[in-house]
């Protein structure tokens, strides 16, 4: 187990959703049934156990090949969150990472602090909510991450949150990487993935509404570049 900067030494039971002390409640949106809202000595948090998707899930749902501690997915995500938080970017504060090795494979989990009173961009699109200022701010936020060299592993509408003040946040940095500088191809791939998610999640809305969401996000993205 590994604690984030400034956090207390983690305990094994922090990562067990069946622990009575945690009073875990499942997070339903955008995951694979492997995330829980929890509460412990660290405060309010989100516990996520790593799960495979796609074809690899048929071989194993939660085991990965061991390649040393530095390559453990929860450790990589924890350290990336530490680095992004030090840069002042809107990410959930990391708390701790855990892994359980079994021979040539391991399982992993991460614990991050809860961002209070949030909802996802996905929930807005599903309901047809109007939030042009929030969409513009979300575009500017994404640009600020890309400017640091971040390549998000899964930029989609479930991973963009708005808090009670409509401030946007970015979450779920599994398989994300922080490069020395931005790369146009990686940026374009990230934005294309987000636009596919907008169309998928908002399939019940009018094409005009969805295009307005995309155009507003892109306008916010460009405005951040103009300020740089």
Domain termination residue (choose one: 86, 113, 140): 113
Over the Cα atoms of the chain, what is R_g? 18
Q: What is the CATH number of the domain that holds 70?
A: 3.30.200
Domain termination residue (choose one: 82, 113, 144): 113
Residue 5: per-residue pLDDT: 73
Residue 105 and residue 123 share a domain: no
Query: How far is the CA of 99 from the CAs of 16, 20, 77, 210, in angstroms?
Result: 12, 21, 12, 40
Cα 11 to Cα 6: distance, rounded to the nearest angstrom: 15
Q: What is the CATH number of the domain that holds 162?
A: 1.10.510.10
Residue 99 and residue 18 share a domain: yes
**In the predicted model, is pLDDT for residue 9 greater than 50?**
yes
**In the predicted model, is pLDDT for residue 152 greater than 60?**
yes
Cα 73 to Cα 60: distance, rounded to the nearest angstrom: 16
CB of 77 closer than 8 Å to CB of 15: no
What is the number of domains present in the chain?
2
State the Cα torsion 89-179-1-54 to the nearest 10°: 100
Cα 162 to Cα 220: distance, rounded to the nearest angstrom: 15
Local confidence band at 153 (pLDDT 50, 70, 90 cut-offs): very high
Q: What is the pLDDT of residues 20-30, one digit of tens each?
A: 788 888 886 65
Q: DSSP E strands: which ranges in 74-176?
A: 94-102, 105-113, 119-120, 150-151, 160-162, 168-170
Local confidence band at 34 (pLDDT 50, 70, 90 cut-offs): confident
Residue 2: per-residue pLDDT: 85
Catalytic residue among 154, 163, 174, 215: 154
Residue 109 and residue 138 share a domain: no
Residue 16 and residue 109 share a domain: yes
Tell me, yes or no, if the pTM score tops 0.75: yes
Q: Determine the structural domain holding residue 218 and report its residue range.
A: 119-227
Residue 42 and residue 92 share a domain: yes
Token code pair at residue 104: 């040539």
Helix axes 132-147, 207-227, angle to 10 degrees: 50
Q: What is the pLDDT of residues 58-100, one digit of tens each?
A: 566 889 999 999 899 999 999 999 999 999 999 999 999 999 9
Local confidence band at 136 (pLDDT 50, 70, 90 cut-offs): very high
Residue 195 and residue 132 share a domain: yes
Residue 207 and residue 131 share a domain: yes
For 70, phi and psi rounded to 5 degrees? -65, -20
Residue 117 annotated as catalytic: no
Local confidence band at 203 (pLDDT 50, 70, 90 cut-offs): very high
Domain termination residue (choose one: 88, 113, 138): 113
Cα 207–153–126 angle (5° rounding)?
30
Token code pair at residue 121: 């961009």
Q: What percent of the chain has pLDDT over 90?
A: 81
């Amino acid at each position: 187990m590994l604690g984030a900067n400034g956090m207390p030494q983690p305990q094994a039971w922090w990562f067990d959703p069946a622990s009575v002390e945690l009073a875990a409640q499942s997070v339903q949106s955008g995951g694979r049934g492997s995330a829980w809202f929890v509460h412990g000595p660290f405060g309010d948090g989100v516990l996520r156990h790593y799960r495979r998707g796609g074809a690899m899930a048929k071989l194993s749902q939660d085991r990965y090949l061991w390649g040393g501690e530095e390559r453990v997915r929860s450790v990589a995500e924890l350290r990336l969150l530490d680095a992004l938080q030090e840069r002042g970017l809107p990410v959930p504060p990391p708390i701790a990472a855990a892994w359980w090795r079994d021979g040539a494979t391991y399982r992993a989990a991460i614990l991050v602090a809860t961002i209070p009173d949030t909802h996802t961009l996905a929930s807005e699109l599903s309901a047809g909510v109007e939030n042009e200022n929030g969409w513009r701010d979300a575009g500017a936020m994404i640009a600020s991450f890309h400017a640091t060299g971040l390549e998000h592993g899964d930029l989609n509408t479930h991973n963009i949150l708005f808090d009670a003040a409509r401030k946007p946040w970015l979450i779920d940095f599994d398989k994300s990487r922080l490069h020395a500088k931005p790369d146009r191809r990686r940026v374009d791939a990230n934005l294309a993935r987000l636009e596919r998610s907008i169309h998928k999640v908002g399939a019940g809305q009018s094409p005009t509404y969805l295009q307005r969401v995309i155009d507003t996000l892109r306008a916010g993205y460009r405005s951040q570049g103009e300020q740089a």
